[in-house]
Amino acid sequence: MADNRTAASRSALMARIGSKDTAPEMSVRRLLFSMGHRYRLHRRDLPGKPDIVFVSKRKAIFVHGCFWHAHGCKIGKLPRTRVRFWKAKMERNVARDIENEHRLHCQGWDVLTIWQCETRDAVLLRERLTLFLSKHS
């Protein structure tokens, strides 16, 4: 299936995609808040600037978009055009994610990655968050 946008239109669309306050991140934040948890956002002093941080518990949560972080689910499939470009980009993103998580672990942080596709099931997401936040390091 060919792209139904011009190159300029597609570029403008992709440029508007932000790294903060995305729909999946907001759904995780709303759920955590409704569960009674309070947290900090996007701590720049931590590797990878985790989306959600529980400082006193030393726990960090990344909410990754399936496409941008190459999850491998239906949402995370590579485009069929410019395959070499996208494959290299996704490989860099994944390598950076692994490095950031490793650095956080070395600093004594527990890390949870939540994928965009996982935010659709609120019951399962609540269970994962409860387990992660209740477990002692």
Give the mean model confidence (pLDDT) for residues 112-133. 96
Give the mean model confidence (pLDDT) for residues 16-33. 85
More confident site: 127 or 13: 127
Show the tokens assigned to 6: 């011009």
Show the tokens assigned to 1: 């299936």
- The phi and psi torsions of 57 (rounded to 5 degrees) equal -90, -10
- Domains, the chain, ranges and CATH? 21-134 (3.40.960.10)
Using one digit for the tens of pLDDT, what is the confidence trace for 52-71? 999 999 999 999 999 888 89
Residue 14, pLDDT score: 62
Using one digit for the tens of pLDDT, what is the confidence trace for 60-116? 999 999 988 889 888 888 888 888 998 999 999 999 999 999 999 999 999 999 999
| 113 close to 104: Cβ distance less than 8 angstroms | no
The Cα 94–Cα 71 span in angstroms is 9
Residue 82, pLDDT score: 85
Show the tokens assigned to 43: 């701590």
* Helix or strand run (H / E) with residue 5: none
Write down the pTM of the prediction.
0.85
Mean pLDDT (the chain) is: 89
The answer on pLDDT for 19 being more than 90 is no
* Chain Cα centroid distance, residue 10: 22
| 54 close to 36: Cβ distance less than 8 angstroms | no
